[in-house]
Copies of this chain bind each other. A is one copy, B any other.
Amino acid sequence: MSIRVGILGYGNLGRGVESAIAQNPDMELAAVFTRRGPESVTVRTAGVKVLHADELEHMQDDIDVLILCGGSATDLPVQTPHYASLYNVVDSFDTHAKIPEHFAATDETARKGGKVAVISCGWDPGMFSLNRLYANCVLPEGRDYTFWGRGVSQGHSDAVRRIEGVKDCRQYTIPVQSAVESVRKGENPELTTRQKHTRECFVVAEEGADLARIEQEIKTMPNYFADYDTTVHFITEEEMKQNHSGLPHGGCVIRTGVSGLNREHGHVIEYSLKLDSNPEFTASVIAAYARAAVRMNQEGQTGCKTVFDIAPAYLSPKSGEELRAHLL
Protein backbone atom coordinates (compact mmCIF):
# COMPACT_ATOMS: atom_id res chain seq x y z
CA MET A 1 0.00 0.00 0.00
CA SER A 2 1.42 3.36 -0.92
CA ILE A 3 2.27 6.11 1.55
CA ARG A 4 -0.56 8.62 1.78
CA VAL A 5 0.86 12.12 2.04
CA GLY A 6 -0.94 15.28 3.12
CA ILE A 7 0.40 18.75 2.32
CA LEU A 8 -0.40 21.75 4.51
CA GLY A 9 0.22 24.97 2.60
CA TYR A 10 0.29 25.21 -1.18
CA GLY A 11 3.00 27.79 -1.94
CA ASN A 12 6.28 27.11 -3.78
CA LEU A 13 7.29 24.40 -1.31
CA GLY A 14 3.87 22.73 -1.23
CA ARG A 15 3.80 22.60 -5.02
CA GLY A 16 7.33 21.17 -4.96
CA VAL A 17 6.20 18.40 -2.62
CA GLU A 18 3.31 17.68 -4.97
CA SER A 19 5.69 17.11 -7.90
CA ALA A 20 8.14 15.14 -5.74
CA ILE A 21 5.35 12.75 -4.75
CA ALA A 22 4.62 12.22 -8.46
CA GLN A 23 8.22 10.99 -8.87
CA ASN A 24 7.97 8.45 -6.05
CA PRO A 25 5.77 5.51 -7.10
CA ASP A 26 5.30 4.33 -3.50
CA MET A 27 3.67 7.64 -2.50
CA GLU A 28 0.37 9.29 -3.27
CA LEU A 29 -0.96 12.75 -2.55
CA ALA A 30 -3.97 12.24 -0.27
CA ALA A 31 -5.06 15.87 0.06
CA VAL A 32 -3.86 19.45 0.18
CA PHE A 33 -4.85 21.49 3.23
CA THR A 34 -5.05 25.24 3.42
CA ARG A 35 -5.93 27.83 5.99
CA ARG A 36 -7.49 29.94 3.27
CA GLY A 37 -10.78 29.11 1.60
CA PRO A 38 -10.21 25.74 -0.12
CA GLU A 39 -12.09 26.98 -3.20
CA SER A 40 -9.33 29.57 -3.73
CA VAL A 41 -6.69 26.83 -4.25
CA THR A 42 -6.36 24.77 -7.44
CA VAL A 43 -4.17 21.70 -7.18
CA ARG A 44 -2.41 20.53 -10.34
CA THR A 45 -2.71 16.79 -9.62
CA ALA A 46 -5.96 15.41 -10.99
CA GLY A 47 -8.50 14.23 -8.43
CA VAL A 48 -6.79 15.59 -5.33
CA LYS A 49 -9.06 17.30 -2.81
CA VAL A 50 -8.32 20.67 -1.26
CA LEU A 51 -9.57 20.83 2.32
CA HIS A 52 -9.54 23.40 5.08
CA ALA A 53 -6.79 22.86 7.64
CA ASP A 54 -9.49 22.32 10.29
CA GLU A 55 -10.25 18.95 8.68
CA LEU A 56 -6.85 17.71 9.87
CA GLU A 57 -8.25 17.31 13.37
CA HIS A 58 -10.01 14.09 12.34
CA MET A 59 -8.23 12.63 9.27
CA GLN A 60 -5.72 10.35 10.98
CA ASP A 61 -7.11 7.29 9.18
CA ASP A 62 -6.49 8.81 5.76
CA ILE A 63 -2.98 10.24 6.03
CA ASP A 64 0.30 8.50 6.87
CA VAL A 65 2.48 11.60 6.92
CA LEU A 66 1.73 15.31 6.84
CA ILE A 67 4.19 17.71 5.24
CA LEU A 68 4.16 21.16 6.74
CA CYS A 69 4.98 23.73 4.06
CA GLY A 70 4.56 26.94 6.06
CA GLY A 71 7.21 29.48 7.02
CA SER A 72 9.70 29.22 9.86
CA ALA A 73 8.90 32.64 11.31
CA THR A 74 5.34 32.14 12.51
CA ASP A 75 3.74 29.02 10.94
CA LEU A 76 5.99 26.10 11.88
CA PRO A 77 6.68 26.99 15.54
CA VAL A 78 2.95 26.49 16.11
CA GLN A 79 2.04 23.94 13.44
CA THR A 80 4.78 21.36 13.89
CA PRO A 81 4.29 20.69 17.63
CA HIS A 82 0.52 20.72 17.13
CA TYR A 83 0.31 18.33 14.17
CA ALA A 84 3.08 16.05 15.49
CA SER A 85 0.60 14.92 18.14
CA LEU A 86 -1.78 13.74 15.40
CA TYR A 87 0.40 12.69 12.43
CA ASN A 88 3.88 11.75 11.40
CA VAL A 89 5.12 15.09 10.11
CA VAL A 90 8.05 16.63 8.23
CA ASP A 91 8.95 20.31 8.23
CA SER A 92 11.75 22.50 6.85
CA PHE A 93 12.20 24.74 9.91
CA ASP A 94 15.33 26.79 9.24
CA THR A 95 15.67 29.40 12.01
CA HIS A 96 18.96 28.03 13.32
CA ALA A 97 18.92 29.77 16.70
CA LYS A 98 15.49 28.39 17.54
CA ILE A 99 16.03 24.76 16.52
CA PRO A 100 16.62 23.58 20.14
CA GLU A 101 13.27 24.89 21.37
CA HIS A 102 11.47 23.76 18.21
CA PHE A 103 12.96 20.28 18.69
CA ALA A 104 11.95 20.14 22.37
CA ALA A 105 8.37 21.27 21.77
CA THR A 106 7.90 18.85 18.87
CA ASP A 107 9.58 15.94 20.62
CA GLU A 108 7.15 16.18 23.51
CA THR A 109 3.98 16.18 21.42
CA ALA A 110 5.25 13.54 18.97
CA ARG A 111 6.09 11.18 21.83
CA LYS A 112 2.72 11.73 23.46
CA GLY A 113 0.97 11.15 20.14
CA GLY A 114 3.12 8.13 19.27
CA LYS A 115 4.32 9.77 16.04
CA VAL A 116 7.61 10.58 14.31
CA ALA A 117 8.35 14.23 13.47
CA VAL A 118 11.28 15.13 11.21
CA ILE A 119 12.25 18.79 11.52
CA SER A 120 14.65 21.07 9.63
CA CYS A 121 14.65 18.97 6.51
CA GLY A 122 15.83 20.23 3.12
CA TRP A 123 19.31 21.10 1.91
CA ASP A 124 20.46 23.68 4.46
CA PRO A 125 19.51 22.68 7.07
CA GLY A 126 19.40 19.14 5.70
CA MET A 127 21.82 17.68 3.18
CA PHE A 128 24.46 20.33 3.97
CA SER A 129 24.13 19.56 7.70
CA LEU A 130 24.57 15.84 7.03
CA ASN A 131 27.72 16.49 5.09
CA ARG A 132 29.10 18.77 7.80
CA LEU A 133 28.47 16.00 10.34
CA TYR A 134 29.96 13.14 8.31
CA ALA A 135 33.02 15.19 7.38
CA ASN A 136 33.57 16.32 10.98
CA CYS A 137 33.41 12.75 12.25
CA VAL A 138 35.81 11.46 9.59
CA LEU A 139 38.27 14.34 9.91
CA PRO A 140 38.12 15.44 13.56
CA GLU A 141 40.99 17.90 13.03
CA GLY A 142 40.05 20.32 10.30
CA ARG A 143 38.03 23.33 9.16
CA ASP A 144 34.54 23.75 7.76
CA TYR A 145 33.50 26.10 4.99
CA THR A 146 30.04 26.64 3.56
CA PHE A 147 29.40 28.68 0.42
CA TRP A 148 25.94 29.44 -0.91
CA GLY A 149 24.95 30.26 -4.47
CA ARG A 150 24.83 31.34 -7.11
CA GLY A 151 21.20 31.52 -6.12
CA VAL A 152 18.20 33.61 -5.22
CA SER A 153 17.83 34.59 -1.58
CA GLN A 154 14.17 35.17 -0.84
CA GLY A 155 14.94 37.01 2.41
CA HIS A 156 17.29 39.48 0.75
CA SER A 157 14.92 40.00 -2.18
CA ASP A 158 12.12 40.79 0.28
CA ALA A 159 14.34 43.21 2.21
CA VAL A 160 14.99 45.23 -0.94
CA ARG A 161 11.30 45.19 -1.85
CA ARG A 162 10.54 47.02 1.40
CA ILE A 163 12.63 50.04 0.26
CA GLU A 164 10.55 53.02 -0.90
CA GLY A 165 10.38 53.25 -4.67
CA VAL A 166 11.14 49.54 -5.26
CA LYS A 167 8.49 47.58 -7.12
CA ASP A 168 10.29 44.25 -7.34
CA CYS A 169 13.69 42.72 -6.65
CA ARG A 170 15.57 39.51 -7.19
CA GLN A 171 18.76 39.15 -5.11
CA TYR A 172 21.45 36.63 -6.02
CA THR A 173 24.01 35.39 -3.48
CA ILE A 174 27.28 34.59 -5.25
CA PRO A 175 30.26 32.76 -3.76
CA VAL A 176 33.65 34.40 -4.41
CA GLN A 177 35.32 31.90 -6.75
CA SER A 178 38.87 32.69 -5.66
CA ALA A 179 37.89 31.96 -2.04
CA VAL A 180 36.27 28.65 -3.02
CA GLU A 181 39.36 27.70 -5.01
CA SER A 182 41.67 28.54 -2.12
CA VAL A 183 39.60 26.34 0.20
CA ARG A 184 39.58 23.50 -2.35
CA LYS A 185 43.36 23.67 -2.56
CA GLY A 186 43.54 23.11 1.19
CA GLU A 187 45.01 26.55 1.88
CA ASN A 188 42.71 26.97 4.91
CA PRO A 189 42.16 30.69 4.38
CA GLU A 190 40.66 32.93 7.06
CA LEU A 191 37.73 34.52 5.26
CA THR A 192 35.65 37.52 6.27
CA THR A 193 31.98 37.73 5.31
CA ARG A 194 32.94 40.05 2.43
CA GLN A 195 35.58 37.65 1.15
CA LYS A 196 33.16 34.71 0.93
CA HIS A 197 30.13 36.03 -0.94
CA THR A 198 29.04 38.93 -3.10
CA ARG A 199 25.45 40.05 -3.66
CA GLU A 200 23.79 41.09 -6.89
CA CYS A 201 20.38 42.80 -7.00
CA PHE A 202 18.09 43.17 -9.98
CA VAL A 203 15.62 45.91 -9.13
CA VAL A 204 12.49 47.19 -10.80
CA ALA A 205 11.97 50.76 -9.57
CA GLU A 206 8.76 52.74 -9.57
CA GLU A 207 8.48 55.43 -12.20
CA GLY A 208 10.34 58.56 -11.19
CA ALA A 209 12.01 56.92 -8.16
CA ASP A 210 15.42 58.19 -7.05
CA LEU A 211 17.66 55.35 -8.26
CA ALA A 212 20.80 56.64 -6.57
CA ARG A 213 19.03 56.72 -3.21
CA ILE A 214 17.66 53.19 -3.69
CA GLU A 215 21.11 51.87 -4.59
CA GLN A 216 22.60 53.60 -1.56
CA GLU A 217 19.91 52.23 0.76
CA ILE A 218 20.49 48.70 -0.50
CA LYS A 219 24.26 48.81 -0.21
CA THR A 220 24.24 50.20 3.34
CA MET A 221 21.43 48.02 4.74
CA PRO A 222 22.77 46.49 7.97
CA ASN A 223 22.97 42.66 8.23
CA TYR A 224 21.62 42.14 4.72
CA PHE A 225 24.11 44.06 2.54
CA ALA A 226 26.46 46.36 4.49
CA ASP A 227 29.07 43.62 5.03
CA TYR A 228 29.12 42.56 1.37
CA ASP A 229 30.20 43.92 -1.98
CA THR A 230 26.86 44.49 -3.65
CA THR A 231 26.04 45.26 -7.26
CA VAL A 232 22.69 46.82 -8.15
CA HIS A 233 21.11 46.66 -11.62
CA PHE A 234 17.92 48.50 -12.46
CA ILE A 235 15.84 46.58 -14.97
CA THR A 236 12.35 46.66 -16.46
CA GLU A 237 9.42 44.53 -15.31
CA GLU A 238 9.68 42.80 -18.66
CA GLU A 239 13.34 41.86 -18.04
CA MET A 240 12.52 40.69 -14.53
CA LYS A 241 9.86 38.36 -15.86
CA GLN A 242 11.99 37.07 -18.70
CA ASN A 243 15.36 36.58 -17.00
CA HIS A 244 14.69 36.21 -13.28
CA SER A 245 11.54 34.16 -12.85
CA GLY A 246 13.33 31.03 -11.61
CA LEU A 247 14.48 30.17 -8.11
CA PRO A 248 17.89 28.56 -8.71
CA HIS A 249 20.26 27.97 -5.83
CA GLY A 250 23.06 25.75 -4.62
CA GLY A 251 26.39 25.94 -2.89
CA CYS A 252 28.95 23.71 -1.30
CA VAL A 253 30.14 22.40 2.04
CA ILE A 254 33.87 21.80 2.23
CA ARG A 255 35.89 20.33 5.08
CA THR A 256 39.66 20.26 4.97
CA GLY A 257 41.56 18.22 7.49
CA VAL A 258 44.63 16.18 8.25
CA SER A 259 45.61 12.64 9.14
CA GLY A 260 48.76 10.79 10.11
CA LEU A 261 50.69 10.57 13.37
CA ASN A 262 52.36 13.88 12.46
CA ARG A 263 49.28 15.34 10.72
CA GLU A 264 51.34 15.06 7.54
CA HIS A 265 48.53 14.25 5.09
CA GLY A 266 45.84 16.69 3.98
CA HIS A 267 42.35 15.82 2.75
CA VAL A 268 39.52 17.76 1.17
CA ILE A 269 35.89 16.62 1.36
CA GLU A 270 33.38 18.58 -0.70
CA TYR A 271 29.64 18.29 -1.18
CA SER A 272 28.08 20.59 -3.72
CA LEU A 273 24.66 21.28 -5.16
CA LYS A 274 23.61 23.06 -8.36
CA LEU A 275 19.85 23.46 -8.33
CA ASP A 276 17.49 24.84 -10.96
CA SER A 277 14.73 25.06 -8.39
CA ASN A 278 15.43 25.60 -4.72
CA PRO A 279 11.87 24.82 -3.51
CA GLU A 280 11.53 21.70 -5.68
CA PHE A 281 14.86 20.29 -4.50
CA THR A 282 13.98 21.05 -0.87
CA ALA A 283 10.68 19.27 -1.46
CA SER A 284 12.48 16.28 -2.98
CA VAL A 285 14.57 15.91 0.18
CA ILE A 286 11.42 16.25 2.29
CA ALA A 287 9.65 13.52 0.30
CA ALA A 288 12.47 11.05 1.01
CA TYR A 289 12.37 11.86 4.73
CA ALA A 290 8.56 11.55 4.73
CA ARG A 291 9.08 7.91 3.69
CA ALA A 292 11.60 7.52 6.52
CA ALA A 293 9.20 9.02 9.07
CA VAL A 294 6.45 6.56 8.14
CA ARG A 295 8.78 3.55 8.19
CA MET A 296 10.39 4.46 11.51
CA ASN A 297 6.96 4.98 13.04
CA GLN A 298 5.78 1.61 11.69
CA GLU A 299 8.73 0.08 13.55
CA GLY A 300 7.48 1.68 16.77
CA GLN A 301 9.75 4.72 16.92
CA THR A 302 8.34 8.04 18.12
CA GLY A 303 9.55 11.56 18.86
CA CYS A 304 11.35 14.35 17.05
CA LYS A 305 14.19 13.49 14.66
CA THR A 306 16.55 15.40 12.43
CA VAL A 307 18.56 14.14 9.45
CA PHE A 308 21.27 13.21 11.99
CA ASP A 309 19.05 10.61 13.66
CA ILE A 310 17.86 8.74 10.59
CA ALA A 311 19.77 5.85 9.04
CA PRO A 312 20.10 6.48 5.29
CA ALA A 313 18.41 3.19 4.33
CA TYR A 314 15.08 4.49 5.67
CA LEU A 315 14.99 7.06 2.86
CA SER A 316 14.90 4.46 0.13
CA PRO A 317 11.96 2.38 -1.11
CA LYS A 318 14.46 -0.42 -1.85
CA SER A 319 15.25 -3.31 0.49
CA GLY A 320 18.53 -3.65 2.35
CA GLU A 321 19.54 -6.47 -0.02
CA GLU A 322 18.92 -4.32 -3.09
CA LEU A 323 20.80 -1.37 -1.63
CA ARG A 324 23.82 -3.48 -0.70
CA ALA A 325 23.86 -5.13 -4.13
CA HIS A 326 23.54 -1.97 -6.21
CA LEU A 327 24.65 1.12 -4.30
CA LEU A 328 27.28 -0.07 -1.79
Contacts and interface: CB of A to CB of B under 8 A. Distances in A.
A284 B312 contact: no
B23 A259 contact: yes
B267 A274 contact: yes
A280 B260 contact: yes
Interface stretch (A190-198, A226-234, A313-321): A313-321
Interface residues of A, number: 70
A130 B324 CA distance: 11
Interface stretch (A62-70, A204-212, A302-310): A302-310
22 contacts: A19-B259, A19-B261, A120-B328, A130-B134, A130-B312, A133-B323, A136-B316, A137-B291, A138-B288, A186-B274, A259-B283, A265-B281, A267-B276, A269-B273, A270-B271, A306-B328, A308-B311, A308-B313, A308-B320, A308-B327, A308-B328, A309-B313
Given A133-B312, A268-B273, 20 more contacts: A18-B261, A19-B259, A19-B260, A19-B261, A22-B261, A23-B141, A23-B259, A44-B261, A100-B325, A125-B328, A127-B138, A137-B316, A138-B281, A259-B281, A260-B277, A267-B281, A268-B274, A269-B272, A270-B270, A270-B274
